[in-house]
Each structure stands twice: as structure tokens, then as C-alpha cells.
Amino acid sequence: MQEKFENSVKNMLEIIGENPQREGLLKTPTRVFKAFDFLTSGYKQDPKKILNDALFESSNNEMVLVRDIEFYSLCEHHLLPFFGRVHVAYIPDKKVVGLSKIPRLVEVFARRLQIQEQLTEQIAESLMKHVGAKGVGVVIEARHMCVEMRGVQKANSTTSTSALRGSFLKSEKTRREFFSLINSSKQVRF
Ligand SMILES: [Zn+2]
């Protein structure tokens, strides 16, 4: 598999007018293979297992919010990076999940070929399903290199997506609390 991948990279280099045999490019196919192996390692990880390993009983039924989780992903249309921040909130129903597992969950889905909308939904869905939350809210703010580098849009423009589930859809109060907590984080950076 690795050989097949590396041959494809060599072909690509030739097609764009490069010489894969020149010194600077000799190790490039192997490097690209290793980079893609890492950047798509989320396919080999099971979100259910990650969350189930850290579920705790709790009587807490207040909103839990983890904001400003950095992520890096690859767009499935151009294989170019998109990256930014994820804010994840949920309202527990007798069970809470270890806080470090939420950034892990984001990585599982970010380290796959993605579109931003789908990444947002997958994070929300798996928290609903595997943690049994009463409600979930996920917001992603990201910059897309396939947009910026190709000059389709101005540099530094961000794309925002959100996915709301359960009580975040039903209750306006919950929704308002969620969005005001995210926005307040923009003033307090420490
Ligand atoms: Zn793209």
C-alpha cells in the first residue's frame, strides 16, 4: 500500500513538471505518505470506544462547555487543509464524559477527509449517541486553504457552522446560554 501511494506521488510530481529524482524530492513520496497516514489516522479510531472508556455517573444536569479546541483537517474536495476552533457543549443525562475525551473526539473526526458541515454534525451525533446527552451544541469556526490559497475569497475569512441536538434545539434558553458562553470567550483570552 505504501509503495502504491509513493508511486502516485512520484507520478504527480512528474505531471506538474518536477523531477522526482532530484535530491530535494527524493524522500518526498515517503514523507507525503507518512503525513497522510497521520492526517487520516481518524479512520482507524472508534469514537464510541473513546467515549465509553471515560463515562462517569453524575447528577450534574447543567451545561458543560469545552471551547476553543484547535483542530486541523483536510477538505475532501481538494485535499487541502482547513483548520480552526471547535466549541462543544452538552447537557448530561446522569452520565458525564471525561473532559479530555472531547478534544480526542474532535481529532477522531478531524483526522479524516472532511467537509466542515459534516465534521460539525459527526461530533454532535456521537456525543448524543454515546454519552446519552440531553442535548448537544457544536460550533466550528474555520479557515479553508482551498478557498484562500486559490484566491476564490479574501484571506482570513472564516466559515462558521453549527449543529444543535436535543434540548439545544427545543429550548431557546439553552441555545442562548450556549451562544453567549461562546461569544464571551472571545473577550477573555488567557
Ligand atoms: Zn476544498
Higher local confidence (pLDDT), 112 or 57: 112
Q: Is 116 a catalytic residue?
A: yes
Domain ranges of the chain: 1-41, 47-183
pLDDT at res. 186? 59
pLDDT at res. 187? 54
Q: Is 41 left (phi over 0), alpha (psi -120 to 50) or beta?
A: alpha
What fold characterizes domain 47-183?
GTP Cyclohydrolase I, domain 2 (3.30.1130)
User: Is the fold of 1-41 the same as that of 47-183?
Assistant: no
CATH code that applies to domain 1-41: 1.10.286.10
Burial class (CB in 10 A: 0-12, 13-18, 19+), 123: buried
Q: Is 87 a catalytic residue?
A: no
CA of 116 to the centre of ligand 1 (A): 10
pLDDT in tens, 3-25: 999 999 999 999 999 999 999 99
CA of 31 to the centre of ligand 1 (A): 22
What is the model's pTM? Answer: 0.92
Q: Per the annotation, does 94 bind a ligand?
A: no
CA of 94 to the centre of ligand 1 (A): 40
Q: Write down the mean pLDDT value for the chain.
A: 93
Q: Predicted confidence band at 189 (pLDDT cuts at 50, 70, 90)? A: very low
Burial class (CB in 10 A: 0-12, 13-18, 19+), 130: buried
pLDDT at res. 185? 55
CA of 150 to the centre of ligand 1 (A): 10
Q: Per the annotation, does 146 bind a ligand?
A: yes
Arithmetic mean of pLDDT, 130-151: 93
